[in-house]
Structure 1
Amino acid sequence: MAEKLRIGTVGLGLMGSSIATCILAAGHQVTSLVKDIIEAPSARQRIYNFLVELEKEELLSETSQTVIERLTITDLVQDLAEHEVVIESIIESVEEKKKVYQALESVISPAAIIGSNTSAIPVSVLQQGLKNPERLLGIHWAEPAHITRFMEVICGKDTNIIYAEKIIALAESWGKEPSLLRKDIRGFITNRIMYAMLREAFNLVENGYATVEDVDRSLRNDLGYWITFAGPFRFMDLTGIPAYLTVMQDLFPELSNTSSAPLMMEKLVAGGAKGVSNAKGFYLYTSETAAQWEKLFTEFSYDIRKLAEKYPQNIGEELNRTAH
């Protein structure tokens, strides 16, 4: 087996730990940079727990104990010097992210790839002021990163496509099914589409058409029924294109296009709601039921991964490349 690249990561919060787990599970040596080395024991234990889960699900080719031994946690940026790819996963702050990139540029090769796990900041903004902006990419993961197959690789204004293609190939070796955004746009693919959906969901609830429960129930049993099998364009192919044009012509003028955040959401956040993490959200929770929902979500993530892997997404892929 060919020697695997050494991969660096920056940040070992929940998402950063999940990213490190994914890369470790794919057979890489991983060096993770943290702000304070006091974080290391708890982060290592969190990653080990994730690996144990993967092992139980038969998604590891080695034991979790063997895999965790490939992880090095450090607070010294120079320890990332010989790494060919470094993935940053810290808070969504342009200023803080740029501090990380400047530190990385002082030690890594000019050809090493820097990936930012950003979900909203335009990559072109993050590239500004870098010595080698062409090697900075957005690498957008979904939670939990070590289970889901989702990944978006985003090119900024100055990105060299060669680096994006390298990350796409790497991501596939990590068990991902990555998408490539050739042009930078705020929110990328899934967030833009999800927030358009959320805007309409709030519109229906705040104007008395349906309850939170009714909206969730409808989407779970319609959109949730087919979306793992096919994206929206494939689904229109499968179910007949002309009918969708008729509905679009009638419905688009009536959809919400407000640019304001929902008042209902603002009130929830002002009241301290964070969701199941603090047992306060759109639904009523006790600490016990919140923990149960978190556990069920993890179990579901493994189940839906297995279901998605059962159905291929690349039939006729060569035809698609020539057609477009």
Structure 2
Amino acid sequence: MNETTIPTDSQASDSPVAQAQSAAAQHSDSAASIRRITVAGAGTMGYSIAEIFARKGYEVTLWNHRWPALDRAKTLIASEVADSIDYSASDHAFEDADLIVESIVEDIDAKLAFYRQASPLARPNAIIVTNTSGLSINKLATAVAGPQRFLGMHWFNPPTLIPLIEIIKNDATDPAVARTIYDLALAIGKKPAIVEKDVPGFAANRIQLAVVREVCSMVSKGIISPEGADAVMKYGLGFRWSCLGPLETLDFGGIDVFEHVSEYLMPDLEDSHEVPALLKQHYEAGELGVKTGKGFYDYSGDKARQATAERDRKLRAVHDALYGEDN
């Protein structure tokens, strides 16, 4: 196994506890060297990431350039760990950190400015990561003092419930740094995947948008309703993919079967390079989903709160069933 090969489920237990123990035993000189973590950005993702690390016993500082955001974050972090986190609007927060996790606004210019300001303050051996969901890691690395210690660490919302963390290298990333962040993710009970090359959308969003493109096409053509398309994913593909990845599914179903299906189906699949018309239609109408009370579905009144609570309940149930401490 090379330095960045990702263990398969047959090589490592699905239990976060077992994975953390395995990571500590096999790579104690890497992830174990990280004790002090500064999370930059006190929005939903930032304060949630800070809470996760604090729960695992790390010395955590939550930094934001405005104090009101920090005051609000402190009220949203679980009370049992909120007081164990340091809150700071001072650049001194970056000086002693072993790891800096940037999760500020998703704006390329703002992030570049942040790295020009913060990275020279960090110790030379401190690792710096970005939680961007799609901005170029190579582009961001141009503003980092020491790009070899920089990479993407893409968490998924809600980070307290979604196990995946994408780890994305820039062209100069030291493989040992990627390995350290991989092991750190295991140590906090996450399921990391290393993306070896910086490409638009990384891995998860490329897969997700390929599915969205086909779904929007079928709904637009009247082949299936939005409710039907979501049912296909939730109760069929998504249900299976929570246990088996797409390539494992090919192995179990038979590569010969999927090769034959591909022969007639691939020519008929949606292959447009444009934004899906149905997606654009909702966007231009200002129907942005839960945040505006309407998207593909109606979230008016109390429906948004109810839908969010139901989403979190189901995610928690799936997470605990597959990755709880007893599994």
Normalised-by-shorter TM-score class: 0.7 to 0.9
Taking the aligned partners of 2:169 and 2:326, their CA distance within structure 1 comes to 26
SS of equivalent to 2:291: coil
Pick the aligned partner of 2:314 from 294, 300, 307: 300
1:264 to 263, 266, 278: 278
Which structure has more RCO (C-alpha within 8 Å, separation ≥ 6)?
2
CA distance in 2, matches of 1:217, 1:192: 21
Distance 1:18 1:139 in 2: 14
1:7 to 23, 37, 61: 37
CA RMSD, Structure 1 to Structure 2 (Å): 2.0
Residue number in structure 2 paired with 1:113: 127
Q: 2:126 aligned with 1:96, yes or no? A: no
1:290 counterpart residue number: 304
Any idea what the Cα deviations from partners look like across 1:254-274, whole Å, max 9, x if unmatched?
111111112222221222222
Q: For residues 48-101 of structure 1, give each alpha carbon's deviation from its aligned partner in whole angstroms, at most 9, with x where no partner exists.
A: 2xxxxxxxxxxxxxxx52x22221111112222100101111222221111111
Q: Structure 1: where are the runs of 5+ without partners?
A: 49-63, 314-324
Query: What residue number does 1:322 align with?
Result: none
**Aligned pair 1:125/2:139, yes or no?**
yes
1:20 aligns with 50
> Which residue in 2 is equivalent to 1:279?
293
Q: Deviations over 1:83-130 (max 9, x none)?
A: 010111122222111111111123111221111011111211111243
Q: Secondary structure at the match of 2:214?
A: helix
User: TM-score, normalized by length of structure 2?
Assistant: 0.86
Residue of structure 1 equivalent to 2:7? none
Aligned residues: 297
Whole-angstrom distance in 1 between the partners of 2:291 and 2:309: 12
Identify the residue that residue 255 of structure 2 maps to in structure 1. Answer: 241
1:35 aligned onto 2:49: no
Show the counterpart of 2:86.
Answer: 72
Q: Percent identity?
A: 28
* Amino acid corresponding to residue 25 of structure 1 in structure 2: R
SS at match of 2:314: helix
| Aligned residue in 1 for 2:245 | 231
> What is the TM-score with the length of structure 1 in the denominator?
0.87
Does residue 137 in structure 1 map to residue 151 in structure 2? yes
Partner of 2:19: none
Letter of the 1:278 partner, please give it. Answer: T
User: How far apart are 1:131 and its partner, in Å?
Assistant: 2.6
Report 1:250-261 matches (<5 A): 250-261=264-275
Aligned to 2:8: none
| Aligned-partner Cα distance in 1 for 2:293–2:102 | 29
Instruction: Please give the alpha-carbon distance, in whole angstroms, between the structure 2 residues aligned to 1:114 and 1:184.
Output: 16
Describe the shift of the 1:186–1:311 C-alpha distance in structure 2 as closer, same or farther (beyond 3 A): farther
Question: In 2, are the aligned partners of 1:134 and 1:160 still within 8 Å (CA)?
Answer: yes
In structure 2, the gaps of 5 or more residues are 1-23, 25-31
